[in-house]
Amino acid sequence: MDCLVKLTTLGYVGVAKGLGAVVGFERELADKPAGMRTHMLVGGAASLLFTAAVGVSVALHEILIATGATLLALATLRVARFVETRMGSKPAESHQDSETRPTADNSG
Per residue in 33-74, pLDDT tens?
888 999 999 999 988 888 887 777 777 767 766 565 555 556
pLDDT band at 19 (very low <50, low <70, confident <90, very high): very high
Short-list 46, 107, 32, CA closest to 80: 46
The whole-angstrom separation of Cα 102 and Cα 19 is 36
pLDDT band at 87 (very low <50, low <70, confident <90, very high): low
Instruction: State percent of the chain over pLDDT 90.
Output: 27
**Torsion angle of C-alpha atoms 5, 10, 12, 14, degrees rounded to 10:** -170
pLDDT band at 2 (very low <50, low <70, confident <90, very high): confident
